[in-house]
Amino acid sequence: MDSDLIKQLGPLAALAGVWEGDKGADVAPSDDRDTEQNQFRERMTFEPMGPVRNHEQVLYGLRYATVARRIGEADPFHEEVGYWLWDPGEGQVLRCFIVPRGVALIAGGTAAPAATTFTLVAEAGSDTYGICSNRFLDKEFKTVRYELTVTVLDQNRFHYKEDTQLRMPGRPDLFHHTDENTLTRVIG
């Protein structure tokens, strides 16, 4: 990897590489709109890229992909592609990604360049850090808030915890679809 580019990634520098984890915990809506819990394994790939210039704004980032499989199953139950970006001028970390269920999301938060923990948030209706879904999901499982906290544990391990808050017909409260895992570097 280009060491000069890695230095420009701020708090994202520690994530460059390929990671795997097999102790993931997923709490999600079941087919009958109740709650199901799944144990999963996943592989995340973060490839350095940039700089990206938007006139006076300069971003550095990671191309990103993840694939998650329930323990004991070969086919993925979840995939994502996108970018994690560092805006050193604003001190902002951004995560822009698409899930093939028809959801696109940009989450962001403030972080110091050497931060080992940061939190990103997106809200439905926000013009900056927001959420866009297809018609079915907007009606049946509307994502109203997304929150992700990443903690770099050491140079070869990081942990994440995310809470995707869903509004579902017939439920007076929000459903908290949560995922968390600790991943270990396998390449990079």
pLDDT in tens, 52-69: 999 999 999 999 999 999
Residue ranges making up the domain that contains 67: 3-187
Residue 1 pLDDT > 70: no
CA dihedral sign of residues 135, 141, 147, 153: negative
pLDDT per residue as tens digits for the range 73-102: 999 999 999 999 999 999 999 999 999 999
Cβ-proximal residues to 70 (8 Å cutoff; 6+ apart), any chain: 38, 39, 40, 77
Q: Which residues of 43-69 are buried (b: 16+ CB within 10 A; e: fewer)?
A: bbbbebbbeeeeeeeebbbbebebebb
User: What CATH code is carried by the domain that includes residue 76?
Assistant: 2.40.128.20
Provide, rounded to the nearest whole percent, the portion of the chain with pLDDT above 70. 99
Provide the domain count of the chain. 1
